[in-house]
Amino acid sequence: MSAKVETFRRAFGGGVVEPGTAEYEGASRAVLALGAPAYVLRPGSTEDVQAAVRFAVEAGLELSVRGGGHSFPGFGTNDGGVVIDLSQLANVEVIDKDRHLVRIGGGAVWGQVAAALAPHGLAISSGDNKAVGVGGLTLTGGIGWKVRKYGLALDNLAAAELVTATGDVVRASAEENPELFWALRGGGGNFGIVTAFEFVAHPATDVFHGRITFPAAEASAVLQGWAEYLRTATADLTSIVALANPFAGGHEAPVEIHVVFDGDDTESAAEAIDPIRRLGTVLDDNVTLKPYADTLEEGVVPPPGIQIVTRSAFVHRESVSAALATLAEVGTSERSPAIAIRSVGGAVSRVAEDATAYAHRQAELMIVTATVGPKPVIEATRPGLDAIWGRLAPNTKGVYANFTASATDDEVAAIYPTATYERLATVKRQYDPNNLFAGNHNIRPA
Is the confidence at residue 399, as pLDDT, over 80?
yes
Q: Give the Cβ contact number of residue 7 at 10 Å.
A: 12
Which amino acid is located at 223 in the chain? L
Instruction: Return d(Cα 178, Cα 347) in angstroms, integer.
Output: 22
Q: Are 106 and 184 in contact (CB under 8 A)?
A: no
Distances (CA, A) of 251 to 131, 165, 390: 28, 48, 20
Q: Is 376 exposed, middle or buried (0-12, 13-18, 19+ CB in 10 A)?
A: exposed
Asked if 255 and 218 touch (Cβ cutoff 8 Å), the reply is yes
Among 19, 129, 124, 111, which Cα is nearest to 70's? 129
Task: Of 130, 343, 144, 368, give the one whose Cα is nearest residue 244.
Answer: 368
pLDDT at 179 over 70: yes
Q: What is the pLDDT of residue 1?
A: 65
Condensed to tens digits (0 to 9), the pLDDT of residues 42-71 reads: 999 999 999 999 999 999 999 999 999 999
Confirm if 211 and 286 have CB atoms less than 8 A apart.
Answer: yes
Going by pLDDT thresholds of 50, 70 and 90, the confidence category of residue 301 is confident
For residue 304, what pLDDT is reported?
Answer: 83
Core vs surface per residue 320-330: b (16+ CB within 10 A) or e: beebbebbbeb
Taking the C-alpha atoms of residue 40 and residue 37, their distance in angstroms, rounded to an integer, is 7
Alpha-carbon distances, residue 411 vs 124, 371, 415 (angstroms): 29, 18, 6
* Nearest to 432, CA basis, from 182, 185, 180: 180
- Higher confidence at residue 6 or residue 180? 180
Asked if residue 300 has pLDDT above 90, the reply is no
Contact (CB, 8 A) for 132 and 109: yes
* Percentage of the chain lying above the pLDDT 90 cut: 95
**pTM attached to this predicted model:** 0.95
Considering the chain, what percentage of its residues have pLDDT values greater than 70? 100
pLDDT over threshold 90, residue 195: yes
Mean pLDDT of 304-331: 96
Closest residue by Cα to residue 11 from 52, 42, 59: 52
Span 255-260, average pLDDT: 98
Q: What is the mean pLDDT of residues 147-151?
A: 97
Quickly count: other Cβ atoms within 10 Å of residue 442's Cβ: 16
* Mean pLDDT calculated for residue range 114-134: 96
Which segments of 123-176 does DSSP mark as H helices, in order?
134-140, 147-150
pLDDT band at 6 (very low <50, low <70, confident <90, very high): confident
